[in-house]
Amino acid sequence: MPDCSTLDRAWGELTTDEVYAFLKLRTDVFFLEQKIDETELDDRDRESETRHYWISDDAGTAAYLRTLLDSDPTHRDAHRLIGRVVVRADRRGEGLAQKLLAEVIARHGSEAMLLHAQEYIAPLYARYGFEPFGAVFEEAGLPHQSMYRAADA
């Protein structure tokens, strides 16, 4: 079985090879596979509070997500935002996104969190305590659902 160790770093701690691997995975899935034609590089990757979480194997980055920190939350008290959740096609169905989510919650569960889930995958996030709110909306040409997870008591 391939290694499933979760790694995480801030932008300034990443190597150029790690950044390349993330961006390759994100563009392969979001641009080529899902045909999203919106800006992928939004400068949020480089913010000092952004954390990059990933799982690598011999072929590169197998799964990835990032967390952002917003000083002015858009919903309730959710300062921590999860985004860019992506799994390489040949590793889907192995629970890699769940492993990354579990790691983020283990580290930041004491904080409220927010994400915009592609509508079809919202049930996955619900298993981790994220609750949908508001109407389904279009983001990057795909239906999304806003989801909120309250801080652990």
Q: Where are the domains of the chain?
A: 7-149
Residue 150's SS3 state is coil
Neighbours of 90 (CB within 10 A): 10
**Confidence tier at 31 by pLDDT (50, 70, 90):** confident
Pairing of the two strands 142-149 and 60-69: unpaired
Q: Are 79 and 69 in contact (CB under 8 A)?
A: yes
Lowest mean pLDDT among 47-51, 72-76, 140-144: 72-76
In the predicted structure, residue 34 carries a pLDDT above the cut 70: no
Q: Are 130 and 113 in contact (CB under 8 A)?
A: yes
Tokens of 145: 């659902």
Residue 5's SS3 state is coil
- Which range scores top for mean pLDDT: 27-31, 38-42, 73-77, 102-106? 102-106
On the CB side of 101, CA atoms within 13 Å amount to: 22
Distance CA 35, CA 38 (A): 9
* Residue of 29 and 127 predicted with greater confidence: 127
The per-residue pLDDT for 92 is: 94
Q: Which whole number is the average pLDDT over 81-90?
A: 94
Question: Domain spanning 7-149: which CATH class is it, in words?
Answer: alpha beta
What's the predicted TM-score (pTM) here?
0.88
